[in-house]
Chains A and B, each alone.
Chain A
Amino acid sequence: MREVAAQFENPVLMYSIGKDSAVLLHLAMKAFAPAKPPFALLHVDTTWKFREMISFRDALMAELGLDLIVHTNTAGVEAGITPFSHGSARYTDVMKTAALKEALSLHGFDVAIGGARRDEEVSRAKERIFSFRSANHRWDAKNQRPELWNLLNGRINPGESVRAFPLSNWTELDVWTYIEAENIPLVPLYFAAKRPVVKRDGMLVMVDDDRMTLAEGEQAQERMVRFRTLGCYPLTGAIESEASTVSEVIDELIHSNLSERANRAIDHDEAGSMEKKKQEGYF
């Protein structure tokens, strides 16, 4: 992260409110201590995030004394794009990928720091720590810059940008053990509690507000659930769990047989779907 601050003019840290972002932000606070991180924070708000995420975000920013840029694709909102009406693929493209590109271009950021890890998904396994993006924010997996030793090449031309992934070599378990060791605050949704959920397409979807209309025969049930990843509530499935503390979560993780993103709807749209989204500019 220090390397990002030193090599680029206008860096931004992508803060998604999730656990990886929490670790990222924690590391940034440490890397530059006693100074504050010398870059902006950006959150792309699709307006469909869990309500608890937003309240957690606002409280944390106030506590740390940091400024956060919140960006929403207003054209998408006006066009009435929702995950229910337009399907997860179209919705992600407009409200996440397009919104992100719009925000990066608007503020002229030349590097975006993200919390993606190589162990999450097959195409992410091939990411560089400094990953080059064309002026149109596209990723060319076949034409990546080699990364040797710890030497990161951040030279770019105006308009081009780089995505930086400091957590590339961390695994989900590393993240949780670090959260435990450093006592990093997280959104309560990561821990088990009684929440109203509906079983839909094999996923447990939480009924977070009244924009979600229940189909015939569906009924919200109170169940003990938690989330392994956080995104937009209609697209993020909960898992049934009793783990309500960090150490219980770690314990559960060691004995789990399901992959982390198994309950993220967007990864399963079609084969190779994450790779396609990444080429188009998704994180």
Chain B
Amino acid sequence: MSMVQEKGILRFLTCGSVDDGKSTLIGHLLFDCNEVSEDGLARLHAQSQAGGRAGAALDYSLLVDGLMAEREQGITIDVAYRYFSTPKRKFIVADTPGHEQYTRNMATGASNSDLAILLVDASKGLQIQTKRHSKIVSLMGIRHLVLAVNKMDLVDYRQDVFEDIACDYAAFAQKLGDCDIQAIPLSALQGDNLSRYSEAMAWYDGPTLLEHLETIDTSQDVKVSAFRLPVQLVNRPNANFRGYSGTISAGQICIGEAVRIGPSGALSKIASILTPDGEANSASIGEAVTVTLEDERDISRGNVIAAADDPPPVSDQFAAHVIWMHQQPLLPGRQVQLRLGAQSVNASVTELKYVINYEDNSHIAGKTLGFNETGYCNLALDHPVVFDTFENNRDMGSFILVDKLSNETVGAGMIAFGLRRADNVHWQAMDVDKQARAALKGQKPCVLWFTGLSGSGKSTIANLLEKRLLARGGHTYLLDGDNVRHGLNRDLGFTDADRVENIRRIGEVSRLMVDAGLLVMVSFISPFRSERRLARQMVEESEFVEVFVDTPLEVCEERDVKGLYKKARAGKIKNFTGIDSPYEAPENPEIHLHAADKSPEELAEEVFLVLEAKGIV
């Protein structure tokens, strides 16, 4: 390891459009640095002849394109990591794909890199993809860019072609903010200006690519800041030892120094530091350590031990850039899991301020964030987290968003700043509470959430049930989907994003009514599981009763009370649930009504009996 550290590591990524020659470039660099073994070379010769793209010549891209599928398609489909070194430096390369649907992998490669090589095909000029990639790597905090103008051999090594592209790019890059750019004309296939100067381009007086990579200074990229140790694991082998393990993400610490623990704000001092090489008096950024404290504090995974005089902010709301990485668009209001360091909380986007247009770097208004789009938004969390802004500390200012059902990583974010609103809006404590209001009415308040297709009989059943409850002296209210859309939700349409907001508002209203002590019946198609879960989480678990009115689509369509199915089939209504918008059936509803072959009266009675059994009425 010592040898490695002495030389220093540069992590960089390559990006560009399809067929700009990324794999060839890396393959050729590996070859020039003698990283290709004899058996690898023999294989390369054989494969180049069998089906390489370079005709009879050596196809260097075969050294890099690992997976069979992409060998067949001739394009790189995933991030591949490559390792090579020169006497001056050691390099880790992330080779990232150029075509559109795999842009998320590019962001992945960028997240761990210090420098980006942007490839441009000299014969084609600047492409939209190059601009998109520039914006992403710049957002991801990369401050060093190399504009590699490749395939110069195809344009007869002409200086004017190179200079036009370099000028175009410089004009575009002004909007990227603070970064240094080196433009290099080269031919990855022929090896011009990779590791040797090109005779054909004697007019170029800058460094070769390898020379630039060997000498670039990235030491200024880490902004010196106060001590931060995100706790990854509480190490407690026996009652006498209680240590906190993690990797120091900023600053340094010595035994005896005062620390503050976030988010609680508790103070203590460092009692001991255990590094991989044993006990130490101090430790600094990048080291994996286990520390013990002088006082017994309640610290768990996700907490942050920080310098007492300069602690990181704590908030449950912040503004951030989000790169969306999933085919299903981001819907404001929908709950996802947010992971920041070792912290993990529920979060939702409360406001999408704008979507970034990569073509001209402008901002456009949007209600949702699509696959590969980047937006600037506010997020609200269900617990406060400890963070730094991304600009100050990449580790503590970055997060990923995870879908709660599929467990897939659907987005990545960079925190711009915390929103202090959370500190200024306080809960007003009330003397008369929910219990008091409910006791007066002699009932247990709850939400009865009727979900099912349009025409399944939700409103009819809810209406009958309300009459039945009223007769028993119950205090009720019925929120009907159609009726609410005439007032409170008049401004909302039927897109997925509006449906989410629709349900959020209904959830809030029903929560207020439960707080008032009422039995609230909600009759809403509510097709998405995640929104029903959101509504459920707004009240206490025992206060939410999901009633699934399970009527098959054929039956609903045959009834077609409002004539809507006919219109939807004719294409006159868009986004109609069951026709061209999905209905996600509940997995574990409290009450499951098999509604096709029973009368509404029977079904309402069925619900009533369950409520009685649960002691709600």
Q: Which residues of A contact B (CB under 8 A)?
A: 2-3, 5-6, 30-36, 118-119, 122-123, 125-126, 141-142, 144-151, 153, 155-157, 168-169, 171, 174, 177-178, 181, 256-259, 262, 271-272, 275
A19 to B77, CA, bound (A): 31
Residue pair B232, A118 in contact (C-beta under 8 Å) = no
Closest residue of B by beta carbon distance from A273:
B68
Closest residue of A by beta carbon distance from B326:
A146
Cβ < 8 Å to A, chain B residues 363-414: 394-395, 398-400, 402, 407-409, 412
Residue pair B412, A146 in contact (C-beta under 8 Å) = yes
Which residues from A are CB-within-8-Å of B199? Answer: none
Kindly identify which residue among A122, A125, A141, A145 contacts B409, using a CB–CB cutoff of 8 Å. A145
A168 to B394, CA, bound (A): 21
B37 interface contact, C-beta 8 A: yes
Residue pair A141, B38 in contact (C-beta under 8 Å) = no
Closest residue of B by beta carbon distance from A147:
B108
B339 interface contact, C-beta 8 A: yes
Residue pair A146, B233 in contact (C-beta under 8 Å) = no
Closest chain B CB from A263 CB (angstroms): 9
17 contacts between A and B (CB under 8 A): A3-B232, A31-B245, A31-B288, A34-B237, A122-B66, A123-B66, A146-B107, A148-B107, A148-B108, A149-B112, A157-B407, A181-B1, A181-B2, A258-B39, A259-B39, A272-B68, A275-B68
Q: Which of B78-86, B430-438, B465-473 contacts A (4 or more CB under 8 A)?
A: B78-86
Kindly identify which residue among B78, B79, B337 contacts A142, using a CB–CB cutoff of 8 Å. B78
Residue pair A125, B66 in contact (C-beta under 8 Å) = yes
Residue pair B325, A146 in contact (C-beta under 8 Å) = yes
Cβ < 8 Å to A, chain B residues 319-370: 325, 337, 339-342
Residue pair B237, A35 in contact (C-beta under 8 Å) = yes
A33 to B275, CA, bound (A): 10
Residue pair B394, A118 in contact (C-beta under 8 Å) = no
Which residues from B are CB-within-8-Å of A275? Answer: 66-68
Looking at A126, A144, A257, A259, the one whose CB has the most chain B CB atoms below 10 A away is A126
Residue pair A262, B4 in contact (C-beta under 8 Å) = no
Known: A125-B66, A149-B111, A155-B337. A258 touches B37 (CB 8 A): yes
B3 interface contact, C-beta 8 A: yes
Residue pair B68, A2 in contact (C-beta under 8 Å) = no
Closest chain B CB from A127 CB (angstroms): 9
Known: A148-B108, A148-B412, A177-B2. A169 touches B233 (CB 8 A): no
Residue pair A2, B407 in contact (C-beta under 8 Å) = no
Which residues from B are CB-within-8-Å of A126? Answer: 66-67, 78-81
B274 interface contact, C-beta 8 A: yes
Residue pair B400, A33 in contact (C-beta under 8 Å) = no
B290 interface contact, C-beta 8 A: yes
Kindly identify which residue among B69, B247, B339, B394 contacts A141, using a CB–CB cutoff of 8 Å. B69
Residue pair A123, B399 in contact (C-beta under 8 Å) = no
Closest chain A CB from B596 CB (angstroms): 31
Kindly identify which residue among B82, B237, B337, B398 contacts A149, using a CB–CB cutoff of 8 Å. B398
Residue pair A118, B1 in contact (C-beta under 8 Å) = no
Kindly identify which residue among A118, A125, A142 contacts B77, using a CB–CB cutoff of 8 Å. A142
Kindly identify which residue among B236, B241, B276, B409 contacts A146, using a CB–CB cutoff of 8 Å. B409
B92 interface contact, C-beta 8 A: yes
Residue pair B276, A2 in contact (C-beta under 8 Å) = no
Residue pair A153, B402 in contact (C-beta under 8 Å) = yes
Residue pair B408, A125 in contact (C-beta under 8 Å) = no
The 5 closest A-B CB pairs, nearest first, are A35-B237, A122-B66, A155-B407, A259-B37, A148-B111
A169 to B109, CA, bound (A): 13
A273 to B81, CA, bound (A): 19
Given contacts A147-B108, A151-B340, A257-B38, 10 further A-B contacts (CB under 8 A): A33-B290, A34-B243, A35-B235, A126-B66, A148-B107, A148-B112, A151-B339, A153-B407, A155-B407, A256-B37
Looking at B1, B66, B232, B288, the one whose CB has the most chain A CB atoms below 10 A away is B66
B301 interface contact, C-beta 8 A: yes
A272 to B245, CA, bound (A): 40
B105 interface contact, C-beta 8 A: yes
Which residues from B are CB-within-8-Å of A123? Answer: 66-67
A269 to B274, CA, bound (A): 47
Determine the main DSSP class of B at the interface with A: mixed
Which residues from A are CB-within-8-Å of B104? Answer: 146
B265 interface contact, C-beta 8 A: no
A119 to B91, CA, bound (A): 12
Residue pair B235, A6 in contact (C-beta under 8 Å) = no
Residue pair B236, A149 in contact (C-beta under 8 Å) = no
A105 to B276, CA, bound (A): 33
Which residues from A are CB-within-8-Å of B66? Answer: 122-123, 125-126, 275
Which residues from A are CB-within-8-Å of B37? Answer: 256-259, 262
A266 to B245, CA, bound (A): 40
Which residues from B are CB-within-8-Å of A35? Answer: 235-237
Which residues from A are CB-within-8-Å of B256? Answer: none
Cβ < 8 Å to A, chain B residues 24-40: 37-40
A2 to B234, CA, bound (A): 10
Closest residue of A by beta carbon distance from B78:
A126
Kindly identify which residue among A6, A122, A157 contacts B342, using a CB–CB cutoff of 8 Å. A6
Residue pair B2, A171 in contact (C-beta under 8 Å) = no
Closest residue of A by beta carbon distance from B77:
A142
Residue pair B400, A148 in contact (C-beta under 8 Å) = yes
A141 to B105, CA, bound (A): 12
Which residues from B are CB-within-8-Å of A168? Answer: 81
A49 to B2, CA, bound (A): 33
A125 to B66, CA, bound (A): 7
Which residues from B are CB-within-8-Å of A30? Answer: 276
Which residues from B are CB-within-8-Å of A141? Answer: 67, 69, 78
Which residues from A are CB-within-8-Å of B81? Answer: 118, 125-126, 168-169
A177 to B4, CA, bound (A): 9
A6 to B232, CA, bound (A): 7
Kindly identify which residue among B4, B80, B276, B288 contacts A125, using a CB–CB cutoff of 8 Å. B80
Residue pair A177, B3 in contact (C-beta under 8 Å) = yes
Looking at A119, A151, A275, the one whose CB has the most chain B CB atoms below 10 A away is A151
Closest chain B CB from A154 CB (angstroms): 9
Residue pair A149, B245 in contact (C-beta under 8 Å) = no
Closest chain B CB from A165 CB (angstroms): 11
A109 to B438, CA, bound (A): 48
Closest residue of A by beta carbon distance from B79:
A126
Closest chain B CB from A151 CB (angstroms): 5
Residue pair A145, B408 in contact (C-beta under 8 Å) = yes
A6 to B301, CA, bound (A): 8
A259 to B77, CA, bound (A): 24
Closest residue of B by beta carbon distance from A156:
B407
Cβ < 8 Å to A, chain B residues 184-240: 232-233, 235-237
